[in-house]
């Protein structure tokens, strides 16, 4: 209502600034820049990390398609490594094996010896809100001068070793899509501890317009990635409920674990050294046949369940991307079912 009364409902307004400040404070990041969605936030972070056309960006092949799409927006190519069965996110062991086998140093950068492309960045994703072993990933990437950008789209409210996800790498990216733990309808956020990069992110996501009371002058190619004020106002209100949402999410997860333990079914729980938001709950069945039967029975009875995302290399636009051996991802794809995970608890 404040935004409507102020008439600033679109791309400018005080609630955008307030939402950024409150997200920065909650996560512990020094700076936060609001965007229209998580994909645009990731695209911006990749651009500001210097990812250029023809570069390669390492990521996991078990992820939502937006992770790879943002890489392609830069003209870069995804490289797929395996996931960890402990976290369902990027495996540090698979990452290290890929780099040790395929990367070589040239002029201060890592290059793929097979493709000849520069490996500029690495994008691990905190799957279903469960933190990856991000400290190990950053340590490995630092040996090769590779920037780490955390896809923390699903993990607002999740912590690894008492530090919020998205605050370990050069950038972190959050999403506030309608299905996330808090929502702005559609929205994203870039997290960084670098003041200059934060200023640059704000500039290019607001069409690169040079500040002026009335003139329109743009000093570089920018993007209309601004979060509307009315969406930011919703985000500020949602943040007031976040701690309650997290308590409910974790309570539901606990109930699920007790229930599925009795059934002899593996309910996935937070990894070691982690505090997870349990954004999307998952069970791991014994095999693909059991998974398919679970999906059919639940959906026929009005319970919405779904399989995990199709592995990225199986999608037509990413089928020719460079990939390592990925037995863990193949195993998980055939067995995981996501189950209802809302914050309504009765």
CATH of the domain at 213: 3.40.640.10
pLDDT tens column, 62-107: 999 999 999 999 999 999 999 999 999 999 999 999 999 999 999 9
Residue 346 in any domain: the answer is no
Q: Which of 185, 212, 239 is the last residue of a domain?
A: 239
pLDDT tens column, 322-341: 999 999 999 999 999 999 99
Residues 209 and 87 in one domain: yes
Residues 254 and 193 in one domain: no
Residue 99 in any domain: the answer is yes
**Residues spanned by the domain of 299:** 242-338
- CA–CA gap between residue 309 and residue 324 (Å, rounded): 19
Nearest alpha-carbon partner for 155 in 137, 175, 170: 175
Angle of CA points 161, 91, 122, to nearest 5°: 90
Number of domains in the chain: 2
Residues 306 and 318 in one domain: yes
Pairing of strands 188-192, 274-275: unpaired
**Look-up: residue for tokens 């704000």?**
202
Q: Which of 203, 221, 239 is the last residue of a domain?
A: 239
- pLDDT at residue number 85: 98
Residues 93 and 108 in one domain: yes
Residue 345 in any domain: the answer is no
Residue 322 in any domain: the answer is yes
Give me the CATH number covering residue 281: 3.90.1150.10
Residues 300 and 228 in one domain: no
Residue 62 in any domain: the answer is yes
Compute the average pLDDT of residues 185-201: 97
Does the pLDDT at position 165 exceed 70? yes
**Look-up: residue for tokens 């037509």?**
316
Residues 93 and 187 in one domain: yes
Residue 265 in any domain: the answer is yes
Q: What are phi and psi of 147, to 5 degrees?
A: -70, 140
Q: What is the pTM of this model?
A: 0.94
Angle of CA points 261, 264, 270, to nearest 5°: 45
Residues 202 and 246 in one domain: no
For residue 204, give both structure tokens.
């290019």
Distances (CA, A) of 255 to 131, 267, 269, 298: 21, 10, 12, 18
Residues 60 and 104 in one domain: yes
Residues 213 and 248 in one domain: no
Residues 198 and 323 in one domain: no
Residues 231 and 324 in one domain: no
Q: Which of 209, 224, 239 is the last residue of a domain?
A: 239
Q: What are phi and psi of 95, to 5 degrees?
A: -60, -50
Residues 277 and 216 in one domain: no
Q: What are phi and psi of 165, to 5 degrees?
A: -60, 145
Residue 201 in any domain: the answer is yes
pLDDT tens column, 246-293: 999 999 999 999 999 999 999 999 999 999 999 999 999 999 999 999
**Look-up: residue for tokens 């559609």?**
186
Nearest alpha-carbon partner for 12 in 279, 202, 268, 266: 202
Residue 343 in any domain: the answer is no
């Amino acid at each position: 209502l404040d935004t409507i009364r102020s008439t600033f409902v679109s791309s400018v307004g005080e609630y955008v600034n307030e939402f950024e400040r409150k997200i920065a404070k909650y996560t512990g990041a020094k700076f936060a820049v609001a965007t229209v969605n998580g994909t645009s936030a990731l695209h911006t972070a990749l651009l500001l990390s210097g990812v250029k056309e023809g570069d390669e960006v390492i990521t996991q092949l078990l992820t939502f398609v937006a992770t790879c799409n943002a890489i392609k927006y830069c003209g870069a190519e995804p490289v797929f490594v395996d996931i960890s069965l402990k976290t369902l996110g990027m495996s540090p062991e698979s990452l290290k094996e890929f780099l040790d086998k395929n990367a070589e140093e040239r002029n201060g950068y890592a290059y793929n010896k097979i493709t000849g492309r520069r490996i500029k960045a690495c994008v691990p994703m905190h799957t279903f809100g469960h933190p990856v072993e991000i400290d190990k990933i950053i340590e490995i990437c630092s040996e090769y001068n590779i920037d780490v950008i955390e896809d923390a789209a699903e993990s607002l409210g999740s912590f690894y070793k008492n530090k919020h996800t998205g605050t370990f790498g050069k950038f972190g990216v959050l999403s506030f899509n309608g299905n996330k733990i808090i929502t702005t309808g559609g929205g994203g956020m870039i997290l960084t501890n670098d003041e200059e990069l934060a200023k640059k992110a704000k500039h290019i996501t607001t069409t690169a317009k040079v500040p002026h009371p009335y003139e329109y002058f743009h000093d570089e190619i920018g993007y209309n990635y601004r979060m509307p004020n009315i969406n930011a106002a919703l985000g500020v209100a949602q943040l007031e409920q976040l701690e309650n949402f997290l308590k409910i999410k974790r309570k539901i997860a606990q109930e699920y674990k007790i229930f599925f333990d009795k059934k002899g079914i593996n309910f996935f729980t937070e990894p070691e050294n982690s505090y997870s938001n349990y954004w999307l709950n998952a069970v791991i069945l014994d095999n693909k046949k059991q998974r398919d039967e679970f999906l059919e029975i639940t959906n026929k009875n009005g319970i919405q369940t779904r399989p995990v995302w199709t592995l990225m290399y199986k999608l037509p636009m990413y089928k020719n991307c460079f990939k390592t051996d990925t037995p863990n991802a193949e195993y998980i794809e055939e067995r995981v079912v996501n189950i209802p995970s809302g914050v309504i608890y009765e």
